[in-house]
Each structure stands twice: as C-alpha cells, then as structure tokens.
Amino acid sequence: MKDGKFVILCVDDDPDVLMVLRTILENGGYFVEEAPTAELGLKKFKEAHPDLAIVDMMMEEIDAGRNFVRALRLERADIPVYMLSSIGDSLAQNVNWVELGLAGIFQKPIDPNTLLTTLKLKLKKN
C-alpha cells in the first residue's frame, strides 16, 4: 500500500493500454505503477512492492508475459497476478491459468467494471 491505497503494477508495451489502465485504476482509488517492458516491470516490482500486478501476455518478446510471471513468483509467491490478453477469453478456456501462477485473465479491451470489481474482491481477500 502507498498512502492508504493498494498499489497495482501494470506492465504492457502498448502506451495506450497503460494509459487506459492508469485512468481506470486511479479513478477506482488505486495507486498505479507502470512499465513498458517485462525487464522494467521486474525492476518496478522490486522497488514498489505492489499488492497486485496486471501483465500483458504478448510484449516485446513472444513469451515475455509468462517469463515475467515466473520471475515474480521467484521474488514473491503471494502477489495476485492477472494476465492481460487480446485472446483472453479463448486463452482462459484453453490454458490452465492457475498452473501459470495467475489469479486470472482479463480480455482486451478491458471492461472497467469487470476490472474494478475483480480487484476489489481479490484485494479484500488478501
């Protein structure tokens, strides 16, 4: 937490997606840290100690999102991590996201109400 707000780390190589996430989350009362690459995301993760992370599956490298999640799990296994994907619904049906170490998958374009409701419920439990 920072200043009484949950800290959400958003990692995506699309600046427009980061802007949308920041707008939704800040309006929802969260503090947002962001990074445009998995490498910078891991650095931000270590600095900011977020309460939850939202990570793009397909970034600068084909498997950057999955590798980033693995790296987060080595640092801190208890943080909820959500994958953000343009194939989210299909991915959720065909991949066991729990085995990937994920709390869930959000479909792009992200629905603000779904995002805020999910985070509120998830962060309340932790």
* 55 within 8 A of 69, measured Cβ to Cβ: yes
CA 56-61-62 angle, 5° bins: 75
**Domains of the chain with bracketed CATH:** 7-125 (3.40.50.2300)
The pLDDT, as a whole number, for residue 94 is 52
Instruction: State how far the Cα of 68 lies from the Cα of 83, in Å rounded to an integer.
Output: 10
Q: How many C-beta atoms lie closer than 10 Å to residue 122's C-beta?
A: 16
The pLDDT, as a whole number, for residue 92 is 47
The string of pLDDT tens digits covering residues 79-110 is: 999 988 776 454 445 555 556 678 888 888 89
The string of pLDDT tens digits covering residues 4-58 is: 999 999 999 999 999 999 999 999 999 999 999 888 999 999 999 999 999 987 7
Single out the residue of 83, 6, 8, 74 nearest to residue 44, CA to CA: 8
The pLDDT, as a whole number, for residue 119 is 96
Mean pLDDT on 66-75: 81
Q: Is the pLDDT of residue 2 over 80?
A: yes
Q: For residue 112, what are the CA distances in angstroms to 30, 45, 67, 119?
A: 13, 23, 26, 11
Confidence of residue 124 (pLDDT cuts 50, 70, 90): confident
Instruction: State how far the Cα of 44 lies from the Cα of 4, in Å rounded to an integer.
Output: 19
